[in-house]
């Protein structure tokens, strides 16, 4: 298992469009991937799950992956968040 924390800097938070980019990137990896914030943890490959967290600007999330490409998955998702969801 590999994880990393990252802060959401996008003004709108992790709403529909950036969440879609996040999920598309997560689905490129074989590992199981989760987003954890506060005490809630959801599948990072599920749009409804990610949106249900209601992640706002300046929220800290923990991206967790478990599998053969876990480190690559987490690093790619952290990079996407840090790029403000610009591909």
Q: Which domains does the chain have, with CATH numbers?
A: 2-82 (3.30.1340.10)
| Cβ neighbours, 10 Å, residue 27 | 11
pLDDT at 87: 64
- End-to-end, the C-alpha distance of the chain in Å comes to 26
pLDDT at 14: 93
Nearest to 80 by CA among 12, 30, 14, 3: 14
Which of the residues in the chain have pLDDT under 50?
A: none
pLDDT at 70: 98
d(Cα 77, Cα 17) in Å, to the nearest integer?
A: 15
List beta partners, residue 70. none
DSSP 8-state symbol, 34:
E
List beta partners, residue 33. 65
pLDDT at 37: 94
Q: Give catalytic residues, as residue numbers.
A: 15
The structure's pTM equals 0.95
């Amino acid at each position: 298992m590999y994880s990393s924390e990252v802060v959401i800097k996008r003004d709108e938070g992790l709403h529909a469009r950036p969440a879609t980019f996040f999920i598309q990137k997560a689905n490129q990896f074989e590992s199981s991937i989760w987003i954890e914030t506060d005490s809630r943890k959801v599948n990072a490959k599920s749009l409804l799950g990610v949106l249900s967290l209601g992640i706002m600007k300046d929220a800290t999330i923990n991206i967790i992956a478990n599998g053969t490409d876990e480190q690559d998955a987490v690093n790619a998702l952290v990079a996407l968040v840090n790029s403000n969801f610009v591909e």
